[in-house]
A and B are shown apart, each in its own frame.
Chain A
Amino acid sequence: MKQKRKLGNFIKFMILSFVAAIILLPVLWMFFSSFRAAKEIISWPPKFLPHEWVFDNYRKVFKRAPMMTYIKNSAIFAVSTTCLSCMINSFAGYAFARLHFRGKNVLFTMCLMTMMIPFQVTMIPLFTMINKMGIYDTWAGLILPRMAGVMGIFMMRAFFVGLPLELEEAGRIDGLTDYGIFARIMLPLAKPALVTQIVLGLNGAWNDLLYPLLMTSNVRMRMLSNGVALFVGQDTTDYGPAFAAGVVSMLPMLLLYLFGQRYFVEGTATSGLKG
């Protein structure tokens, strides 16, 4: 009986490891290949570990394209949209959760409805609007539309609804205004939710391709996601730099993941529980 259990566990473990290998294999191969010399890349049979570690590919990548500009742009975009939307979402989330004002439900339903609108439908009019407003290819044009997000509002509202009412009453007894209660009591308690928003937001903004692709055209404003995409086309034959570019685009988020994994996982897991 115990033997059967052990065999079952072993098989389970093997299958799980196999799946894990499928996940890790391409990532590791890309990583190792980025340090491979061009000759070795096109040799057959291909190897897993590089015979000789070279930095050539990275040199080429940084020489051929203004990678530092791309990285800087992606960083500015990711950080500013995330921080701004985090704040604005928290304000709105708290207001929907704990304040009372006429039309609250109507406004909240309106927010919910925007969740149903796929970006593809609004992207063309948005593009035209930003163009006509004269802020196309500028930071304003990129950041303004992303200054609030329904998912964030939703998440913050759910969080604030979960906090006990006594906190608010205690604050009122102390003579705080609603803003005071929010700033001094609620917000500090919301740190986990805020960090989750920031982590997921940074990841989403850093990896976003379509939106920045749409909203910029000048190389000066280009993001990393677009810049790296230019290294891989259907007809690329210079594979080394493509690997290097891929690694570069992944590195910051990988670091974020290693340190903030908890927030990624919990943020995603709880999104499915609210129902």
Chain B
Amino acid sequence: MMDWLKRVRNYWSSGSRTGYVMVAPAILVLLIFNIIPLFASFGISLLDVNVLFNNPKFVGIQNYLEAFRTPRFWNSLKNTFIFTFLEVPCQMAIGLALAAVLTRNKWVNKLFRSIYFLPIICSATAVGIMWQLILNSNIGYVSWMLRSIGLPKISFLKDPEIAMYTVIFMSVWRSFGISTIIFVAGMQEVPAELYESADLDGASKFREFFSITLPGIIPTIYFVLITRLIGSMQVFDLIFVTTGGGPNFRTETMVNYIYSRAFSSDTRLGYATAMSECLFAIILIISILFYRRMLKDEQA
């Protein structure tokens, strides 16, 4: 009996079999729950079917055509772009500026960094609660502060013109700390000698930042840029919790729209999936574009 067990053990321990055994669980999970659904999604996008998957009907590319004809689709696309291309540069700029100031590991800097990083533990719901209520025009502390310096009553999340900017603000608030931390790590890798020789030549701090720091952390900048772009285009939580896509769909982004089409009243899974394919295509294209730019810059 022991002999047989030993044989089994030796079999699975020899050479490359260990490798397969050790990666198997992870690969299986990724395959079954990530890759297969991806391929399945292509199929589902060609169907017209409801949430319970009763009576699926094959409709070919009708879902896509219908999406292109629906104004709400283009609206959500527009909102997604507005959100992404305002939120990402904002939080990157703030992150860079703060990181430049907080690069050295003095305890004061570490304290500030910890404070800026705090929102990472806040769920989207918590962030939504905090800001929704502190900006509330009737009870909010910030509203009071603004009014006492003479500004009018502003409806931050209910005003169709301003709502999106409020959402962007909340998102930047939430994520600039993460960017700061990543940039600090990148900046700490820049060799000190470069700064020393620049100091000897009499360069100002600003000059040093633009000529030494920024070029030195280009890979980090690209990393943050690409990951934040991809992340922002998928924004859902914050909007779901605060505005639900309103007012008047002014803050409805693609994922919010997809979610409402898949799971709210008018459940049309095939249509929703078709739209998620569009989103996927956009994310893929943008990622590839920036990634290629990054590789080109690296070779230069």
Q: Is B86 an interface residue (CB 8 A)?
A: no
Could you tell me if A261 and B114 are in contact, using CB atoms closer than 8 angstroms? Answer: yes
Could you tell me if A124 and B273 are in contact, using CB atoms closer than 8 angstroms? Answer: yes
Q: Could you list 19 examples of A-B contacts with CB < 8 Å?
A: A19-B116, A22-B173, A24-B115, A25-B134, A44-B138, A91-B22, A92-B25, A95-B19, A116-B283, A128-B44, A129-B33, A148-B30, A179-B18, A203-B120, A209-B125, A210-B259, A228-B126, A242-B133, A253-B123
Could you tell me if A107 and B18 are in contact, using CB atoms closer than 8 angstroms? Answer: no
Could you tell me if B116 and A124 are in contact, using CB atoms closer than 8 angstroms? Answer: no
Chain B residues, Cβ within 8 Å of A125: 36-38, 40-41, 44, 273
Chain B residues, Cβ within 8 Å of A95: 18-19, 22-23
Chain A residues, Cβ within 8 Å of B44: 124-125, 128
Could you tell me if A272 and B34 are in contact, using CB atoms closer than 8 angstroms? Answer: no
Q: A12-B101, A45-B144 are in contact. List 4 more A-B contacts (CB 8 A).
A: A20-B115, A44-B144, A118-B230, A229-B125
Could you tell me if A126 and B114 are in contact, using CB atoms closer than 8 angstroms? Answer: no
Interface size on B, residues (CB 8 A): 103
Could you tell me if B134 and A29 are in contact, using CB atoms closer than 8 angstroms? Answer: yes
For A15, the closest partner residue in chain B by CB is: B101
Chain B residues, Cβ within 8 Å of A101: 15-20
Q: Is B224 an interface residue (CB 8 A)?
A: yes
Q: A107-B27, A148-B25 are in contact. Are A118 and B20 (CB under 8 A)?
A: no
Chain B residues, Cβ within 8 Å of A245: 129
Q: Shortest beta-carbon distance, A216 to chain B, in Å? A: 12
Could you tell me if B240 and A121 are in contact, using CB atoms closer than 8 angstroms? Answer: no
Q: A29-B141, A272-B185 are in contact. Are A23 and B220 (CB under 8 A)?
A: no
Specify the main secondary structure of chain B where it touches its partner: helix
Q: A118-B280, A178-B18, A209-B240 are in contact. Are A26 and B134 (CB under 8 A)?
A: yes
Could you tell me if A132 and B53 are in contact, using CB atoms closer than 8 angstroms? Answer: yes
Could you tell me if B219 and A225 are in contact, using CB atoms closer than 8 angstroms? Answer: no
Band of interface residues on A: 35 or more
Could you tell me if A46 and B144 are in contact, using CB atoms closer than 8 angstroms? Answer: yes
Could you tell me if A243 and B129 are in contact, using CB atoms closer than 8 angstroms? Answer: yes
Could you tell me if B16 and A265 are in contact, using CB atoms closer than 8 angstroms? Answer: no
Contact of B133 among A30, A127, A228, A264 (CB under 8 A): A30
Q: Of B60-68, B175-183, B192-200, B207-215, which stretch is located at the interface?
A: B175-183
Q: Is A54 an interface residue (CB 8 A)?
A: no
Could you tell me if B13 and A179 are in contact, using CB atoms closer than 8 angstroms? Answer: yes
Chain B residues, Cβ within 8 Å of A132: 53
